[in-house]
Structure 1
């Protein structure tokens, strides 16, 4: 199994599926930081040693004041060069939504690349009337509607804060 191989071992060769994102060829020790637009990446992939890019734990992509996506477990960001070279082509964080792999033909199989389990937190998801509810029961009903809508879309509802417009849910893949 690949996990039993020593770090840096070339004994395990991964064969990508037809049409799958191509791995980076000849990773160099010096990488230029690409234009990320408003996206921020944690940990900072562009300052990590090359060998650590094969196992980035809990990679988080954030757009301040809009939201963030945290990918669970270890992500090998070298398997899809777009992660390091053109992240905005893969991840779009907008007010009230997150889109990964907007072009379906470029989406890797479930569990590969960024098409994996993740927790999404979206900000500025204010209820109507900027969160002013006549009573606590109305607020609870609205939160329940958000939970139902989340589950109906195949995600797991984690939380919704009516007062601050923060919506959090989990997906198994995109």
Structure 2
């Protein structure tokens, strides 16, 4: 997408927009820092950092785990404890992922073999009847969903979609 539609807006939050090319650049920069962790936990509201973290984790080859930031401190801590060594991104970290002032990094070694069976994301259930349970989504699951539910190149450049779910919900992913 970035190569063929680099100037096209792909994400907007408030008055800030990421183009496909900028998202690609930021995700690659994030991936360099993410690859030294076993997972990336996202504990924040909707933000331009969300797609940067999601694609950055994929490029780094580590699972992306969006957490329900509305949980109580005890529940949220318990979920974070399930992922020792993971990088936890919370509200204080999100602007840094999209900061235009940050310098570029060498991302040439990020190109690797795609593994459809690798874990792409871990989504936790709401935990309304017991402790939240993890739902494992592999790259092939997400790719199959996208390829079977989207009609590519059918949207005009002026078309947009409103995603009105929290980032920890499967529909947000």
- The interval holding the TM-score normalised by the smaller chain is under 0.3
Q: Tell me the TM-score normalised to structure 2 length.
A: 0.24
Task: Compare the two structures and name the one with the higher helix fraction.
Answer: 2
Instruction: Select the structure with the greater relative contact order (CA < 8 A; seq sep ≥ 6).
Output: 2
Q: Tell me the TM-score normalised to structure 1 length.
A: 0.24
Task: Compare the two structures and name the one with the higher strand fraction.
Answer: 1
